Structure 1
Amino acid sequence: MAVNIHAIRAIYMFEMARTWRTPLQSIVSPVVSTSLYFIVFGGAIGSHMPTIGDVPYGAFIVPGLIMLSLLTQSIANASFAIYFPKFTGTIFELLSAPVAWWEAVIAYVGAAATKSVLLGLIILLTATAFVPLRIEHPVFMLFFLVLTAMTFSLFGFIIGIWADGFERLQVIPLLVVTPLTFLGGSFYSIEMLPSFWRTIAYFNPVVYLISGFRWSFYGLADVGIAISLAMTLVFLAVCIAVVGWIFRTGYRLKN
């Protein structure tokens, strides 16, 4: 089966061009917001907190904050990218074009993941101005960053197809993903919780993402790195299966 490289590239470049047209919203705003966390939690509060393991508190929260931005931006970028063609009606041009559904998904999700990874790296560089950082496993850090961005861009793609209004695009990111990220160990270690709440926390899927990402920095993890990676791959597989079902059935695409 021949791959329509030209179609994938056209959609990908169109989505990337939209980012460069709105740099304040796409890049500057998330970086400034995350920098405020570094100042408040890393500087003001972190200076009065003990180290966790051998890691200063300000540095300890950096992986969690990057993951928070990565998840929200991946979902937002991918969900808006596919919802807007639905809103304007241009989705029918895509569906009738000689482009396979998986080629369109690769382009949209690839663009959203690229934007999220670039933003995550910019935030990582910004963090070095506020706290001392070390990355013990840089290759795994980049791999996990890309894998998480791809997974949640796919999840955002599903949300964009499911949503029937701009308000619904914000429901799951604001009411589900962001709270789960804050409760998933962004600002603390799960081991610091009482045993009952620690058990509850392990049902939070974001715990495994943050734990795996933090391990790549400091070698510290609340759960085994193999489990973190496996959970991420399982969620990725589920998202791929859901997207395939959507295009086979035309759910929220042909109505």
Structure 2
Amino acid sequence: MNLQAVRSIYTFEMARARRTLLQSVVSPVISTSLYFVVFGAAIGSRISHIEGISYGAFIVPGLIMLMLLTQSVSNASFAIFFPRFSGTIYELLSAPIAYYEIVIGYVGAAATKSIVLGLIILATAGFFVPLEIAHPLWMLAFLVLTAVTFSLLGFIIGIWADGFEKLQLVPLLIITPLTFLGGSFYSVDMLPPVWQTVTLFNPVVYLVSGFRWSFYGISDVSVTASLLMILVFLTLCLGLVAWIFKTGYRIKP
């Protein structure tokens, strides 16, 4: 493996995040804090506890997951789209570097930024509500797997998009609504039986449920199903990325 090439891409992307610190870190933290304050104050006054957990603490994993999904996709999609837009991707493709090394560099940087941001939001939430993490290793595992998986999805979107508008299409119209409807701010058990069944077709439910289990030991679906869903989605994204570089879809003239 060409570690120097991977390190160069990774370092460049991380340096870009430092140059745009206000947009990359401060803005998502403030937005998530506002979600926490608004939902915690408005709904928390009506729902004090869910399954023995205070409502404010209950929504923390959902808020982190909401940020993690959107930021992972946005970071990775812009990172690969901009070289395509500016034409510098052809210099990268002509360099002595394998496609998987390009993916590791870009996706690794996007996932790292999302993970760091998730940990910052977790620390910020500790100022609002008392937190407990029943399974810290599993929490980190879900955090890393989700960040890597959705960074791969963002990489795919960055290749697919032919304009800046399309970069926001999937996060705004698909990922964010699915996250809101995926049990981020409520338990699936609170829904009527019919909607509980419908909700199980939302893949984000499994991500949020598994992540919440790592905090409080409670979940809407089995932890095995949550982990399996992430691994299946990760495999699909890896397969799509491999197909893109094999066929040269939208990266080669």
Determine if the TM-score, normalized by the shorter chain, exceeds 0.5: yes
| 1:44, distance to aligned residue in structure 2 (A) | 4.1
Give the aligned partner of residue 127 of structure 1.
125
Deviation of 1:17 (Å): 0.1
C-alpha displacement at 1:39, in angstroms? 1.1
Aligned to 1:204: 202
**Which residue of 2 is the match for residue 25 of structure 1?**
23
Which amino acid letter does the alignment assign opposite residue 234 of structure 2?
A: L
Q: Determine the C-alpha separation between the residues in 2 that align with 1:133 and 1:201.
A: 27
Whole-Å separation in 2 of the counterparts to 1:170 and 1:53: 36
Q: Distance in 1 between matches of 2:188 and 2:67?
A: 20
Q: 2:75 aligned to 77, 86, 97, which one? A: 77
Q: Deviations over 1:160-203 (max 9, x none)?
A: 00000000000000000000000000000011111111111000
Q: Which amino acid aligns with 2:201?
A: F
Match of 2:251 in 1: 253
SS at match of 2:52: coil
Number of positions where the alignment pairs a residue of Structure 1 with one of Structure 2? 253
Partner of 2:214: 216
Identify the match of residue 145 of structure 2 among 137, 147, 151: 147
Is the 1:42–1:130 Cα contact (8 Å) retained in structure 2? Answer: no
Unaligned runs of 5+ in 2: none
Task: Kindly indicate whether the alpha-carbon contact (under 8 Å) linking 1:42 and 1:131 is maintained by their aligned counterparts in 2.
Answer: no
More off after superposition, 60-69 vs 36-45:
36-45
Cα distance per residue 1:71-121 (max 9 Å; x no partner): 000000000000000000001001110000000000000000000000000
Displaced runs of 4+ in structure 1, greater than 3 A?
A: none
Residues of 1 paired with 2:43 and 2:73: CA distance?
Answer: 30
Q: Judge which range, 56-65 or 37-46, deviates more.
A: 37-46
Partner of 2:43: 45
Q: Tell me which amino acid in the other structure corresponds to 1:37.
A: Y
* TM-score, structure 1 normalization: 0.98
Q: Return the alpha-carbon distance in structure 1 between the equivalents of residues 46 and 56 of structure 2.
A: 10
**What is the alpha-carbon distance in structure 2 between the residues aligned to residue 44 and residue 222 of structure 1?**
23
Identity across the alignment (%): 70
Aligned residue in 2 for 1:99: 97
Instruction: Calculate the aligned-residue CA RMSD, in Å.
Output: 0.7
Q: Which residue of 1 aligns with 2:60?
A: 62
